[in-house]
Amino acid sequence: MNALAANHLGRRKRTDLVFRVLAAASAVMVLLALLLILGTILWKSVPALSLSMLTRTPKGGFYLGREGGILNAIVGSVYLALGATALALLLSLPVVLYLNVYKGRTSKTAVWTRFFLDVLWGVPSIVIGAFGFVIMLALGLRASLLAGILTVALLEFPIMSRAIDEVMRLVPRELKDASASLGATRFETAVKVLVRQTAPGILTGVLLAMGRGIGDAASVLFTAGFTDRVPGSLADPAATLPLAIFFQLGTPFPEVQERAYASAAILTLIILVISLAARAMNRKVNRHVVK
């Protein structure tokens, strides 16, 4: 090796080293940010965290009350997220299957549908909330669990559709052809082959959307209402964890503010449980996927 090549190699190695250090630094920064958020929430919530936070409804009003728990918001959020996610899935799957089974890759309809879904994804949740409010009034509903579910489903729908769509587009054409060549209709191919092949992706999309739905405050601000009671029916108003945080943090009393952090910790915990459950389920739905 001559001197020039050696010199050149030395420079390439230095460049490589610089990038490796930079990449590692960003990884550490992201991890640090996450730990700081979790740490702050947990540390601030310690004074207020207790079993009764989880098991009791508020005493003395959610705004001023320093007693009781936030069972109303926990149950409200879970109902709302489950309902909205189920509804969004009912809307998303047909749309995505339509795009991927009935429409070709270059179809104009498909291109435009994807574009509109992307636009809808980008609409701020407060705007979705305001829209939900208008729809709610038009349908003659009051602020209620049902109105909240409808609005949050609208928020989740584009996220879920596009997430599932991305994995369905990766299904090789030959797999669809294999099913078709056995005499399957497009519907049979969609339901029996595509859904199975993309099951892990569907699960991811559903949970991504659910995580977004359960944590969103703006979309439920006008539509779900807020109450101290656990909702007993779809027509009842429902408290939610993001709004509980919002209201409690807005009070001038430190004791109530601590409760806001406790609510935040519980919300984070719920999302963590959802993610872990997804990981556990993933192994099961992955079993038959053809690589």
Partner 1 sequence: MNGDSPISIRNLSVLYGDHLALKDVSLDIPAKRITSIIGPSGCGKTTLLKSLNRLLDTDDGVRVRGQVLLDGEDIYAPRTEVTRIRRKMGLLSQRPQVLPMSIYDNVAYGPRIHGLRSRKELNERVERYLRLAGLWDEVEGRLREPASLLSVGQQQRLCLARGLAVEPEIILGDEPTSALDPQSSQNVERRLLELKRDYTVIVVTHILRQARRIADHIAFLYLGELVEQGPAAEVFAAPKDPRTRAYLTGEIS
Q: By CB under 8 A, name the binding residues for partner 1.
A: 104-107, 172-185, 188, 192-193, 196-197, 287-291
Of the pair 12, 192, the CB lying nearest partner 1 is at: 192
Count CA atoms closer than 13 A to 105's CA, side-chain side.
7
Of the pair 180, 274, the CB lying nearest partner 1 is at: 180
Residues 6+ apart with CB under 8 A from 147: 132, 135, 136, 141, 223, 224
Nearest to 132, CA basis, from 114, 155, 110: 155
How near is the Cβ of 89 to partner 1 at its closest, in Å? 20
Of the pair 140, 183, the CB lying nearest partner 1 is at: 183
Q: CA 265, CA 45: separation in Å to the nearest integer?
A: 7
Q: CA 114, CA 42: separation in Å to the nearest integer?
A: 40
Of the pair 165, 258, the CB lying nearest partner 1 is at: 165
Nearest to 255, CA basis, from 52, 65, 43: 65
Of the pair 63, 102, the CB lying nearest partner 1 is at: 102
Of the pair 11, 173, the CB lying nearest partner 1 is at: 173
How near is the Cβ of 164 to partner 1 at its closest, in Å? 15
How near is the Cβ of 281 to partner 1 at its closest, in Å? 16
How near is the Cβ of 90 to partner 1 at its closest, in Å? 23
How near is the Cβ of 87 to partner 1 at its closest, in Å? 27
How near is the Cβ of 192 to partner 1 at its closest, in Å? 7
The DSSP bridge partners found for residue 68 are 58
Contact 128, 185 (CB under 8 A): no
How near is the Cβ of 148 to partner 1 at its closest, in Å? 36
DSSP 79-146: HHHHHHHHHHHHHHHHHHHIIIIIS-TT-HHHHHHHHHHHHHHHS-HHHHHHHHHHHHHHTTPPSSHH
Please name the residue ranges forming H helices in the chain.
Answer: 3-45, 51-55, 71-97, 108-122, 125-138, 145-168, 173-181, 186-188, 195-197, 199-215, 218-221, 241-249, 254-285
Contact 80, 224 (CB under 8 A): yes
How near is the Cβ of 199 to partner 1 at its closest, in Å? 8
Burial classification of residue 249, based on how many CB atoms lie within 10 Å of its CB (0-12 exposed, 13-18 middle, 19 or more buried)? middle
Of the pair 91, 180, the CB lying nearest partner 1 is at: 180
Of the pair 99, 149, the CB lying nearest partner 1 is at: 99
Three-state secondary structure call for residue 231: coil
